[in-house]
A and B are shown apart, each in its own frame.
Chain A
């Protein structure tokens, strides 16, 4: 069922973007987490003196700068997730849209393989690529976290936070797979990726600031990932089930439309 040749080819074709985004993520983790020892008690006071609406919008609190796990989950991984969800959307979208954009659909679709097998291989390649990315992020976080905070950095809890990040990235990819059959340009999937990735972040900020907009949280992958809770060893279990469900449903929706897509150009 799983066409290994397509999977291997996709991994090969997307290796460069993986390297670039891995480096970007490692730099974010390295810089932000590396800075943790330089925050002292006065920093927490500064944060707490900021307008409450601002603090709520970005889920900031003074305590966050005193606890490495909270800081890592609530701040560092949040930024990483914004970046990586953009990558996830771009990657999944371009895996499909590229075939139209490059005209390679005419090559691939006349091979003895079904569109379902093609999508399955591409979705698997996506999962492998984002898993590798999150594994490297986890290793980097662990090395830097232990270096700056020693035993205060709870590696076990961070496993949950990184798992939540991985599942949230997969959910972003699932949404991209659902819309990708309507996209014929990789550039469009890139633009949509940036828009959707930042959109999730802004949605989370807006619902934190304005109480009446709180139900919007259900539209953001950040809500389901709940990185701050996961990083302190209290993952949002239901959220962690919702995220892979979004990936699976999105991929199935993508398959439905891909089966009906016509390749006229």
Chain B
């Protein structure tokens, strides 16, 4: 077991961070933590890294209790925070040299390969880097020492699509070599692409764990329609999902559809559409649909 938490909880005074999280990440697994902003993903990750002390419960990394105050255990960990903030007066090269100095020896060809694959120029000062370049630097320093465990907090935010694809490719290669990956995201597509298992975090609790093949709402799309003449939805449309009128937009309806694409198009052929839009659901919409479908109460912004 690479990561195991036992009723891990963190409160900031009266404010909830995470509550009784029991997480198990197997060796060699890619585990996605998915949840809306403020759900507790970052708190969980920071607690695993010893940056935050849990209020109760415990956790282990590689079978050893997490050392409060840092230590050798983190030699096997690579970490990328959501917002990469590094020493602004250092150049990218100096920062990577500094990171490497904690993990000697480092394979220089691997470092160079990472820089090339992520199209990163290490010669400039960190203060001059864009958000995306700082993210690339953070990714390279996290991967530099070939860690056994990668903990990535929203790794793709700020990256352009090509670099994002390259990052996925690097992560998949690493995983094939046995590296365990825990990463948080609020983009369902990323989970679908990379993970073997997914944990859903909502309001500080791990509410559901499933394999990516059993991912609820995996094929879900959000459909916005307006029928010709502003007519109300008919039976064909109702077969796709439950249409809800959009407030302030007369004649417009929204429905969450969890069905294969050909089924959606077949049903839409039977209705006279004036307007039509189909998009991937946001994580908030996904959670809303999952809980609405299960008949559970939905609170807060989920």
Contacts and interface: CB of A to CB of B under 8 A. Distances in A.
- A, B assembled together: yes
A121 to B, nearest CB: 12
Given A103-B85, A115-B69, A5 B74 contact: no
Nearest to A5: B101
Interface string A217-260: 00000000000000000000000000000000000000000011
Contact of A110 (B68, B77, B86, B89): B77
Contacts of B51: 105-106, 109-110, 262-264
Contacts of A112: 70-75, 102-103
A111 interface: yes
A104 B87 contact: yes
A9 interface: yes
Interface string B252-270: 0000000000000000000
Interface string B40-75: 000000100111110000000000000111111111
Contacts of B67: 114
B86 A264 contact: no
B274 to A, nearest CB: 49
Given A5-B101, A262-B52, A263-B51, A107 B141 contact: yes
A63 to B, nearest CB: 48
Contacts of A104: 85-87
A109 B99 contact: no
Interface in B231-260: none
B88 interface: yes
Interface residues of B, number: 33
B83 interface: yes
Interface string A96-119: 000000111111011111111010
Interface residues of A, number: 24
Contacts of B122: none
A116 B69 contact: yes
A13 interface: yes
Contact of B98 (A5, A103, A110, A262): A5
Given A110-B49, A259-B69, A9 B74 contact: no
Interface in B85-110: 85-90, 94, 98-99, 101-103
A12 B77 CA distance: 26
B53 A262 contact: yes
A264 B18 CA distance: 13
B89 A5 contact: no
A109 B71 CA distance: 9
A187 to B, nearest CB: 15
Contacts of B88: 102
Contact of B50 (A5, A109, A116, A264): A109
B50 A9 contact: no
B79 interface: yes
Interface string B149-162: 00000000000000
Contacts of A262: 51-53
Interface in A86-103: 102-103
A108 to B, nearest CB: 9
B86 A109 contact: no
Contacts of B49: 106, 109-110
A134 B46 CA distance: 41
Given A109-B49, A263-B46, A114 B89 contact: no
B216 interface: no
A13 B89 contact: yes
Contacts of A115: 69-70
Contact of B74 (A102, A111, A260, A263): A111
Of the candidates B77, B87, B141, the one having the most CB atoms from chain A within 10 angstroms of its own CB is B87
27 contacts: A5-B102, A9-B98, A13-B90, A102-B87, A103-B83, A104-B85, A105-B51, A106-B85, A107-B85, A107-B86, A109-B49, A110-B49, A110-B50, A110-B77, A111-B99, A111-B102, A112-B71, A112-B72, A112-B73, A112-B75, A112-B102, A113-B102, A114-B70, A118-B70, A259-B68, A262-B52, A264-B52
Interface of B: 12, 46, 49-53, 67-75, 77, 79, 81, 83, 85-90, 94, 98-99, 101-103, 141
- Chain A to chain B: the 7 pairs with minimum beta-carbon distance, closest first: A103-B85, A5-B101, A112-B75, A111-B102, A263-B51, A115-B69, A110-B79
